[in-house]
Amino acid sequence: MSIQDPIADMMTCIRNAQMMGIKQTYTPFSKLKGNLLRVLKEEGYIHDFQVVSADNKQNIQIILKYFQGKPVIEKFKRVSRPALRVYRGCDDIPLVRGGLGISILSTPKGVMTDKRARTERIGGEILCTVE
């Protein structure tokens, strides 16, 4: 069975691992997932990630971050999905929790946060929101 939305699948793996209190989880590799995880690491939502090869398959090992026993990521929501893509210009990018959370966008200049997209005056597809 093929996965219809690999980003949503990765987000579900992270959510499930955090509910169980597991420190690390694995998901199949793709460049977009790697870029999304890079942004999460830069913003301090995950501890680290690395690409692991086994049996001619590449997986991403995600090391999750906890603070005082609770996951750092409270909510992880997919905005744009394969059936309904959501694109916004730089002036229309919404704030998440009044600026306390982030939106992750796929832009012509790469995957970046909503704050960086506003400063560079560039819009794109809103992939997900993180609180």
Span 38-48, pLDDT tens digits: 999 999 999 99
Same domain for 62 and 105, yes or no, is no
Q: Which domain holds residue 116?
A: 76-130
> Do the beta carbons of residue 113 and residue 100 sit within 8 Å?
no
- Residues 65 and 84 occupy one common structural domain: no
* pLDDT tens column, 51-68: 999 889 999 999 999 999
Q: Are residues 107 and 61 in the same domain?
A: no
CATH number at residue 52: 3.30.1370.30
Among 52, 71, 90, give the residue marking a domain's end.
Answer: 71
Q: Are residues 63 and 115 in the same domain?
A: no
Strand blocks (E) in the chain: 24-28, 46-54, 57-64, 66-67, 70-71, 76-78, 87-88, 102-107, 110-113, 124-130
Query: Quick one: 80 and 117 in the same domain?
Result: yes
1 in any annotated domain: no
Question: Is the pTM higher than 0.85?
Answer: yes
Indicate the number of domains in the chain.
Answer: 2
